[in-house]
Amino acid sequence: MFGGRNKKERLYKHLDKARVLQLQSLGVKLVIDIGPPGAAPDQIGDIAVQERGIATVDEIGSLFKQARAGLLSYPADYLTKSGIWSSYIAHGVLPLVLSEAKPTAVIQEDEHFIRLKENRKRIPRNEAARVANNARFWYEEQASSQVAARTFLQIIQSVAR
């Protein structure tokens, strides 16, 4: 996980036993906390937490290559505005979201992210892989810098005519 201290504190506060079991069902044994230090507990349930502090883009990219999932506490209906969510899906990392269920027409729960819920026992790994792939594909088709550049160019060309 990464982000500002307030967001991380909120996330840690809501990681109860049921949600920790969901992380463990994915094989998560370590949470790596990136960003301003001081928010992380030593562990969450049986999962160790390691604060890394501020990291470079290369360090974060390297960690994403090893990550099973990325945690964030962000309203589901605003995820497409979240740089953290975009970073996760751009790297193919499964986004695990702690938030209330809110419908969105752009992205869907259990299709582009998995919401950690009190009543969920576990997250099947094949479901996690499918959702991570869907999110990555959505990013490549809808939100990558190449898509943005192409759209911007089309707008300029239409105005210049």
Give the type of residue at 142.
Q
User: 8, exposed or middle or buried, with CB in 10 Å at 0-12, 13-18, 19+?
Assistant: buried
What is the chain's pLDDT, residue by residue, as a tens digit (161 residues)? 888 888 888 889 889 889 999 999 999 999 999 999 888 999 999 999 999 999 999 999 999 999 999 999 888 888 988 889 999 999 999 999 998 878 788 899 999 999 999 888 899 999 999 999 999 999 988 866 665 666 666 777 777 76
Domain at 55, CATH number: 3.40.50
DSSP 116: -
pTM attached to this predicted model: 0.85
Domain that holds residue 125: 5-160
Total count of domains within the chain: 1
The b/e string for 66-98 (b: 16+ C-beta within 10 A; e otherwise) is ebbbbbbbbebbebbebebbbbbbbbbbbbbbb
User: 139, exposed or middle or buried, with CB in 10 Å at 0-12, 13-18, 19+?
Assistant: buried
